[in-house]
A and B are shown apart, each in its own frame.
Chain A
Amino acid sequence: SQQGEEDPQALSIQEGENATMNCSYKTSINNLQWYRQNSGRGLVHLILIRSNEREKHSGRLRVTLDTSKKSSSLLITASRAADTASYFCALRNTGGFKTIFGAGTRLFVKA
């Protein structure tokens, strides 16, 4: 399968804790993106990491990419109840035109 596979499928944590979500894939990629989807809303782009990058930060988000293991992780530090959402990784194959989305990790942050 070309799509990213997120792990875990669901995650429940207390406010203030860190949340880590992982994405594994099987093909060579140009870049990997992470999106958030709040309930009843569309996906919102969070961050993009290129295949030649190993780590990227944006506010409380930290993304890593290991192309040798074909995996990426999204870390949300000091989580808040408002971070409750589904998080998707999305990848673009080298030379491909389609962006393929994984099935998502459902994060629930308890206040």
Chain B
Amino acid sequence: DTAVSQTPKYLVTQMGNDKSIKCEQNLGHDTMYWYKQDSKKFLKIMFSYNNKELIINETVPNRFSPKSPDKAHLNLHINSLELGDSAVYFCASSQDGSRSNQPQHFGDGTRLSIL
């Protein structure tokens, strides 16, 4: 019954590796997001997709590539992982991201640790 689910919950890997995080929402929402939360709890938007179309692409290294095979899924692939990529990554969704009064629903995060 989980509304926004992301896997894995924990990811520990070596510097230089490539990894993916998956996200799925069963809310029927049109818009999905990826956020990065650093050690100071600051939450920063990375990407947003609306009906599989990229609408927000913040200043993120091109080692990060989102992919939305359908509007219920938004995956995040990261190439050549660096120490600074260690953080908690959150997936979220909202009914219609173009409407500002829509609350966002978050997954429980993927804690990425780079060794």
Contacts and interface: CB of A to CB of B under 8 A. Distances in A.
A40 B101 contact: no
B29 interface: no
A42 B111 CA distance: 11
B103 interface: yes
Interface residues of B, number: 24
A20 to B, nearest CB: 19
Contact of B108 (A40, A101, A103): A40
Contact of A45 (B35, B55, B100, B104): B104
Interface in A56-111: 86, 88, 92, 96-101, 103-104, 106
B92 interface: yes
A41 B42 CA distance: 14
Contacts of B108: 40-42
B105 A97 contact: no
B94 to A, nearest CB: 8
A97 B56 contact: yes
Interface in A2-22: none
Interface string B20-43: 000000000000000100001111
Contact of A42 (B42, B98, B107): B107
